[in-house]
Amino acid sequence: MGMSSTFIGALVLVILIQAKGQPGFISIDCGAEAGANYTEPSLQINYVSDENFINTGVRGTIASEEINTHAQQQLWRLRSFPEGKTNCYKINITRGSNYLIRTLFLYGNYDGRNMSPQFDLLLGANLWDTVTIQNASITQFNEIIHVPLLDFIQICLVNTGNGTPFITAIELRTLKNDTYVTESGSLERYLRCDLGSNRSYRYWADDYDRFWFTCDIKEVWTQLSASISDDSFFENDYKPGATIMSTAVTPANGNAPLVIGWEPEHETDEFYVYMHFTELQVLTTNQTRQFNITMNGELWFSNFSPQYMSVNTIYSPSGISGKEIKFSLERTENSTLPPIINAIEIYKVKQFNQSDTFQGHGSP
């Protein structure tokens, strides 16, 4: 059965390293000159050099033609690791806090070789992912929600013999501890969709600096939108934000269900799902929007009506799995209006069974 979160409250964030005006943000420009500390104007996010987080590697800059097409300066530099098999960053954090951890990679032909590498990315001693650079001119990222057991984390890059590892930026964002809770394991971003939108967003639109994308889910939907001001909008602890919630989708056929589904790579993969809802219309006395949510044909949440200008988040309290996972939002007999959904987040459970530390090169 899904759970609903409609809590409203102040968010108190405590962290050892704080960016100006952004409590809970750690934003590291990998390869920036020593002492660098600047605000990226397009994001209003403060970045610092990686000099205090690692003592190995070589600073590099992407090709000039790539700089011309990437306006944000935290993407212009990088740190590569031509020596040593494993090189690790060490970043002090608050033990037991809930963090969104993001690593970014833009090759940008920094070495003039036009040879995109492949290498392993570790969180502590645990394999997080294998990074395969698909396009030299496109920024790739990895993102995970993780609760560290120590007062620091290590992010390590491993040379697997397929080119020199590198990293462009590291970003940590503190989340509220009672959000994104799992029975076990960490949450790797699988999909995060701003439904009904025609563009992507991150910080200033989202207080937690989550990346939101438009997502083509291959369903026949009608896009909805409304003007929502931050002052008149009631958030919950997930804080998707007024901008993200100002759009939604509904079935093009008002009598049809609204379906969101996917086929996991492995049937045993576990997922956590977070659906965010806001009613965008002022309903008249003879209008009702009410629907049930089923998962793979079984009732998951019943008789749900989104609240006007207020966030409702329905989420899975435990991991879900299957050969196919399909959610269906189906209007009830009493409803005069079809179902809507504004945004959805899907995460895959990542089990880290090794130590949070790696005895490798690089950590200060």
Position 19 pLDDT exceeds 50:
no
- Selected residue with higher pLDDT from 203 and 23: 203
Choose the weakest-confidence range: 17-21, 168-172, 265-269, 272-276. Answer: 17-21
What b-and-e string marks burial along 322-356, b requiring 16 or more CB atoms within 10 Å of the CB? eeebebbbbbeeebebbbbbbbbbbbbbbebeeeb
Cβ-based neighbour number of residue 286 at 10 Å? 6
Strand 3-5 relative to strand 312-315, pairing: antiparallel
Tens of pLDDT along 332-351? 999 999 999 999 999 999 99
pLDDT at 219: 84
Residue 126 is predicted with a pLDDT of 96
Q: Read off the amino acid at residue 240.
A: P
* Extents of the domains making up the chain: 8-175, 186-349
pLDDT averaged over every residue in the chain: 92
Read off the amino acid at residue 84: G
Asked if 8-175 and 186-349 have one fold, the answer is yes
pLDDT band at 15 (very low <50, low <70, confident <90, very high): very low
State the pLDDT at residue 3. 54
Helix extents (H) in the chain: 64-69, 242-245
**Model pLDDT for residues 39-70, shown as the tens digit of each residue:** 999 999 999 999 999 999 999 999 999 999 99
Question: Options 2.60.40, 2.60.120, 2.30.30, 1.20.120; which CATH number does 186-349 get?
Answer: 2.60.120
* b/e burial code for range 178-193 (CB count within 10 A of at least 16 → b): ebbebeebbbbbbbbb
How sure is the predictor about 362, in pLDDT bands with cuts at 50, 70 and 90?
A: low
CATH superfamily of 8-175: Galactose-binding domain-like (2.60.120.260)
